[in-house]
Structure 1
Amino acid sequence: MRRRDFLKAGLSGATAFGLSGLTVLTPRRAVAGTVDVDLVAEGTFKTMADGISIFTWQFNDLNGSGPGALSSGLLVTEGDTVNVTLTNNLDRMINFVIPGVIASSPSVAPGGSRRYSFTAPPAGSYFYTDAANGELGRAMGLAGPLVVMPADGSRSLYGGGPAFDRQYTLVMSELDDRLNNAIYTGQSYSMDAYEPNYFFANGLSYPDTSTDADTVVAMDVGENVAIRFINAGAIIYPMHFHGYHVKVATRNGMPETAVIDKDTVMVDVGECVEVVLPVAQAGIFPLHTHYVPGVTASGSYPNGGLILMQAS
């Protein structure tokens, strides 16, 4: 694995898991590699922006971590062989799937482990999650980003695709504390009643997003910056840019055929959208979901999925 301490280096250092956003530039290589990962599905308590502690689920990477406050995140090169050993420390069956790559897989019983192997798909943005529990798994936090870099080692979203100077990955998610409390106390809960009241980018809420290197989009005038939006939650995220327009490059790995300038990009449930931001002016500007509750913490503003872009 290419891990957090290794990947925090700037792009000028040749490799980064834009952890300055969960992103990387990989060296050119002639043959595919092998990536071994150990994930533990577990319950934990997460402190919200308003100080409330809420029980959540997470994939915990025993060998590294994801961007921001996410406990896991995979970075590979297309063609790699990826071996994921998943240990289930939850109270119910779960599995490991990657929408668009692995549609279904055998489940892991509570207390058990299972190895999942797959070949890294074409370069792009993906996420892995649990499908055995439907939307409940994602709503409780069982999701992690998967970034696949081009095999040719280029600074592009895919071989021959849009080039960039820097790149960031922003995983959007949320929770409904009524659901989380029901799961913690062993009560029933219907996703039909799902109405989230806490919102996150890379597991963080504003103002924490404004001080973490993984969620502050730092850039220079004249650069092209790639941003990978991954919707790992259960609601839609219309991501709105102040100060800039972006060009949508791909949706779920499919290149956009009609590329126009936008200041708001819709990221549907389960969708991965890659955009390119031409940095035209210096300054500090917000990037946030246009879903108004999404920039609050249980109604308190400003919190939630609010990110700062800083250009010099």
Structure 2
Amino acid sequence: MRKIFNKFLYICSVSLLLALLLLPVMSPLFHEPAQAIPSSTAADPEQKNEIPAVKQFHLYATDGTLALPDGTSVYVWGYSEKNEKGSATYPAPALTVNEGDQVEVTLTNIGTAKKGIKRVGHTIHFHGLDTDQANDGVPHTSKDLLVGESFSYQFQATHAGTYFYHCHVDTVEHLQMGMTGAFIVQAKDGAKAAWTSGPGFTKEYTFMLNEIDPVWHKAVEEGKKYDRTTFHPTYFTINGKAYPDTEKDPATMIDGKLGDKVLVRLINTGYQAHAMHLHGFHFEVIASDGRPLASPLMKDTVNVGPGERYDLLITFDQDGSYPFHSHNITDNTNNGIYPGGMHTMVQVTKDGKTPQGTNHHQHTATLPEEIREGNIVVISDMRYSIPELKVKQGTTVTWINNDPMFHTVTSIDDQFDSRHIEPGKQYSYTFQEKGTFPYYCATHPSMEASVIVE
């Protein structure tokens, strides 16, 4: 029995030794062959692993001033691309990257140009971008920057879409003061698509919606306390502009030709909801808060809540001029004067060329030589240039319509009435009697002025 067992061990040992010796030879029979390296790659010594591009920005936290259409100026805080106190813009510069980019945004708090302002800390929070805690810009969880300090926020832009950034220090005040800007992540490689492999577009616009309570801004400027539970905005802006200034800026005045597909990114950085309504077209709501919708929604009005973003795709299937504005009616006023505020226009032509006489970007009437030195009232920016014009008896007064819309010069006592004055046209009237003659625009009754004949 022992001899049989010893013989068995001998046979097992020999078999194991043979298996070990034959393993390198036999292994290809039991394993998938290794994939060959393509000859084109193997022959190209320059071929390297793809490294995401790095987009770098440098912003400076400081103060500035915003001019509104009625001549009002408000003190603002914000971000600037200049290392210069007082150079903040409203809104802040738009930052644009491509999907997949590594992003580095360096913020330096340089303080305010205006004296007597508190030396407060600032941060950048990238609203809607899923950054880690260290780059989230919230002072509760990551340090804010005091005057003179800098920090570089770093993250990867992983999802194409519409976002924004803002200061998260004492947010209720800093956001209203203007510390916010658009952050756009375009499709991979900057393709003209709403997102990578998403619907294409011909051109795009980004509209930042906001409202302004000048009482807050004045209080901050003067270093006075104010009630933050009392918020009564009187100005409403798209990209920091209120109508009619929106029509003069190609960034807020939409134009194109038949067949164009236009992407409009709506960003509400304010504290109130704004119901944006488009005349003449229905649009597709294709994305919300930086993510594509499973199915587009066909609408003509979309209510944009505070902090929300919507991407709209508009197909220009008819030509003409159409308003695009908030349907919260008070949003269309400048300090109570209508029209104003969150209102702009969409101009669609057959060939992409603006027809003569309907240029909404700029409409400047040329004054005839014989009346340039006379008594001229220019109608511009929804106002008569001289609220109270004093003239001598027998003087002829001429009104020049320098706005891109119809206006009238209508006497309150029916002494004179221009009827509609077309853009670029004029109306004259000779005052033969002494007295005060109030007048208004019949189309825009909040426009008022008077002529005093001595």
CA positional deviation for 1:48 = 1.5
Partner of 2:60: 40
Residue of structure 2 in register with 1:16 after alignment: none
Question: Residues 22-101 of structure 1 correspond to what in structure 2 (within 5 A)?
Answer: 31-62=51-82, 70-88=91-109, 89-90=111-112, 91-101=119-129
CA distance in structure 1 between the partners assigned to 2:104 and 2:347 by the alignment: 37
Comparing 160-169 with 176-185, which one deviates more in the overlay?
160-169
Match among 150, 160, 163 for residue 123 of structure 1:
160
The match for 2:325 is 288
**Aligned partner letter, 2:272:** I
Q: Counterpart of 2:304? A: 267
In the alignment, is residue 257 of structure 1 matched against residue 294 of structure 2? yes
SS of equivalent to 1:73? strand
- The more displaced of 183-192 and 218-227 is 183-192
Match in the other structure for 1:247: 284
1:175 aligns with 2:203: no
- 1:163 pairs with one of 188, 200, 203: 200
* CA distance in structure 2 between the aligned counterparts of 1:51 and 1:190, rounded to whole angstroms: 26
Classify the secondary structure of the residue corresponding to 2:147. coil
> Equivalents in 1 of 2:317, 2:51: separation in Å?
38
1:257-303: per-residue Cα shift (whole Å, max 9, x none)?
Answer: 34332110111101111011111110111101112221111111122
Residue number in structure 2 paired with 1:144: 181
* Contact 1:238–1:267 under 8 Å retained in 2: yes
Distance 1:214 1:62 in 2: 21
The answer to whether the 8 A contact 1:172-1:233 is kept is yes
**Amino acid corresponding to residue 122 of structure 1 in structure 2:** H
Tell me how far 1:153 sits from its aligned partner: 3.8
Q: Tell me how far apart the structure 2 counterparts of residues 85 and 246 of structure 1 sit (CA, whole Å).
A: 37
- Residue identity over aligned pairs, in percent, reads 32
Tell me, in whole angstroms, the C-alpha distance in 1 between the residues paired with 2:209 and 2:177.
13
Instruction: Return the offset for 1:199.
Output: 1.3
C-alpha distance in structure 2 between counterparts of 1:129 and 1:70, whole Å: 10
Asked which structure has the greater CA Rg, the reply is 2
- Report if the CA contact (8 A) 2:331-2:341 is conserved: yes
Higher RCO (CA-CA < 8 Å; seq separation 6+): 1
Between 165-174 and 114-123, the greater mean CA deviation after superposition: 114-123
Q: State the AA in 2 paired with 1:262.
A: K
Query: Match for residue 218 of structure 1?
Result: 255
Deviations 1:145-186 (A, max 9, x none): 011111144321111222212111111112100110111111
Q: Find the residue that maps to 1:193 and give its secondary structure.
A: coil
Q: TM-score, normalised by structure 1?
A: 0.84
Is the CA contact (8 Å cut-off) linking 1:32 and 1:77 kept in structure 2?
no
Instruction: Spell out, residue by residue over 1:10-68, the C-alpha distance to the aligned partner (whole angstroms, 9 max, x if none).
Output: xxxxxxxxxxxxxxxxxxxx6521122111111112222110111111111239xxxx9
Q: CA deviation at 1:189?
A: 2.8
Relative distance call for 1:192 and 1:69 in structure 2 (3 A) is closer
Q: Which residue identity does 1:128 align to in structure 2?
A: Y
* 1:83-111: CA deviation from partner (whole Å, max 9, x where unpaired): 21212225211111012224434311123
Cross-structure match for 1:200: 237
Contact persistence 2:207–2:264 (CA under 8 A): yes
Instruction: Report the more deviating stretch, 241-250 or 37-46.
Output: 37-46
Q: How many residues end up aligned between the 2 structures? A: 279
| Paired AA for residue 297 in structure 2 | I
> Are the counterparts in 1 of residues 92 and 180 from structure 2 also a CA contact under 8 Å?
no
Q: Secondary structure at the match of 1:118?
A: strand
Question: Is the CA contact (8 Å cut-off) linking 1:138 and 1:234 kept in structure 2?
Answer: no
> Which stretch shifts more, 138-147 or 77-86?
77-86
Deviation at 1:113, TM superposition (A): 2.2
Say if 1:78 and 1:121, in contact at 8 Å, map to a contact too.
Answer: yes
Which shifted more, 187-196 or 279-288?
A: 187-196
Distance 2:123 2:59 in 1: 12
1:8 — aligned with what? none
Matching of residue 307 in structure 1 with residue 344 in structure 2: yes
Equivalent-residue separation in structure 2 for 1:308 and 1:232 (angstroms)? 21
Q: 2-side partners of 1:121 and 1:307: how far apart?
A: 33
* 1:217-247 superposed Cα distances (whole Å, 9 cap, x missing partner): 1111112111100111221111010111101
State the 1:71 CA deviation: 4.2
Q: Which residue of 2 aligns with 1:113?
A: 150
Aligned to 1:17: none
Q: Does the 8 Å contact 2:286/2:311 carry over to 1?
A: yes
